Amino acid sequence: MTILSHPIDEQSNPFAIAQQQFDIAADLLDLNMGTRRRLRVPRRELKVAVPVRLDNGDIEVYEGYRVQHNVARGPAKGGIRYHPDVDIDLIRALSMWMTWKCALVNIPFGGAKGGVTVDPERLSLGELERLTRRYAAEISIIIGPEKDIPAPDMNTNPQVMAWIMDTISIHRGYTVRPTVTGKPLHVGGSEGRTEATSRGMICLLREACRHLEMRMDKSSVVIQGFGNVGGNAARLLYDTGVKVVAVSDVRGGLYNADGLDIPAIQRYQAQTGTMAGYSEAEGVTNAELLELPCDILVPAALGNQITRENAARIKARIIGEAANGPTTPAADAILAENGHFVIPDILGNAGGVIVSYFEWVQGLQEYFWSEHEVVENLERIIIKAFHDVVKVAESRHNHMRTAAYLLAVRRVADTAETRGVYP
């Protein structure tokens, strides 16, 4: 199996990791040097200072970013993250991954990402709204339905998207629905957007089980993260009778080898704000959770979770990456060596942006689809992408991430090369 053309150093800077992953594909594709130089760096980067009047009257200034990695195949697309770890290199990496994700599932978008360096748990609702509106106003110079379309990401949600849509619309003087996706249904959102990433992941797990001749209904699943993606994935799996044996939030996790009662944990979490202290399961740390015995592991939280340090101790046969960047390239080599089947992030979490695409189309056309149409089209697109990647992995003897990159990078490179370099 051709995994790497050169040994890999363990990097923790996400942008260095994104570039390493790109370089592996560029080498295998024998990409010409000019194209390689163009695709290796973001096209545009905007850094903004976001002043916010706090409830006590003080003014705090937060750092915000919007990075457009590539716009060759269409308007830039990607979420907005509110997190203390947000910095320019994280946003650069996430924007590059969006480019490959959109190309891989063949939707007509480039890649972007935005974020604000903030811990939103420390803000009141009013402060969060003022932060969002001012950040939206600051990045309004580069976003818009035909230019760059934000969406939710970690710690942002449909309400935040509604504030962004409203802010941009107030500036324009009329309602501009397709300026952002992931909006609530009654402000122009799409059916099925909230669960889209989880639904996409479950569909991929089903295909992966078939491909590996494993019984999904007899499998045990461990999920790291219990937010929009991890929480919905746990619930959808539970509802279809698949045994979820461990879940976690930022504070830690719960494990029960006989299977967890996910709705009961959701109720407990809604009442107490955390899953810690829930009595029907054993407590585990987020690090321990990754190494639990199970058939399927779904990292659905932060990046850099599976590293050179713990990769050899992972037991799951299938690793379905719902988070962005959960595995370092050094860990990837170990996972491939040990025969794990990885559904790489740019495929694994693409369900979200696929339904974002549907929401954008519906907003532009002012014509809205049923949930059935959304789910059917989501599944069609993601299943096709899965089999495209498997075919490349098998024909080129690569592992799944490299195969996904080969497809995605080739598509973006073809468009960029045919369009040429201006002037």
Which residues of the shown chain bind ligand GLU in the complex (CB under 6 A)? 77-79, 151, 153, 181, 324, 349, 352-353, 356
User: Which residue among the candidates 113, 243, 315, 384 is catalytic per the annotation?
Assistant: 113
Q: Which residue shows structure tokens 């959102």?
A: 189
Query: How far does the chain reach from its first CA to its final CA, in angstroms?
Result: 42
Residue pair 228/302 in contact by the 8 Å Cβ criterion: no
Strand partners for 113: 67
Residue 45 CA neighbour count, 13 Å, CB half: 13
User: Least CB distance from residue 233 to ligand GLU, whole Å?
Assistant: 14
Our CB check for ligand GLU shows the closer of 254 and 354 to be 354
Which are the contacts of 394, defined by CB distance < 8 A and separation ≥ 6? none
Q: How far is CA 126 from the centre of its chain?
A: 27
Our CB check for ligand GLU shows the closer of 231 and 352 to be 352
User: Least CB distance from residue 113 to ligand GLU, whole Å?
Assistant: 7
User: Least CB distance from residue 80 to ligand GLU, whole Å?
Assistant: 8
Q: Is 113 a catalytic residue?
A: yes
CA distances for 99 relative to 77, 178, 346, angstroms: 8, 19, 9
User: Least CB distance from residue 356 to ligand GLU, whole Å?
Assistant: 3
Beta strand 341-343 with 318-320 is: parallel
User: Least CB distance from residue 151 to ligand GLU, whole Å?
Assistant: 3
Measured at CB, which residue is nearest to ligand GLU?
Answer: 79
Our CB check for ligand GLU shows the closer of 158 and 352 to be 352
User: Least CB distance from residue 423 to ligand GLU, whole Å?
Assistant: 31
User: Least CB distance from residue 147 to ligand GLU, whole Å?
Assistant: 14
Our CB check for ligand GLU shows the closer of 219 and 356 to be 356
Our CB check for ligand GLU shows the closer of 136 and 260 to be 136
Q: Which residue shows structure tokens 């990695």?
A: 69
Our CB check for ligand GLU shows the closer of 161 and 316 to be 161
Our CB check for ligand GLU shows the closer of 22 and 100 to be 100
Catalytic residues: 113
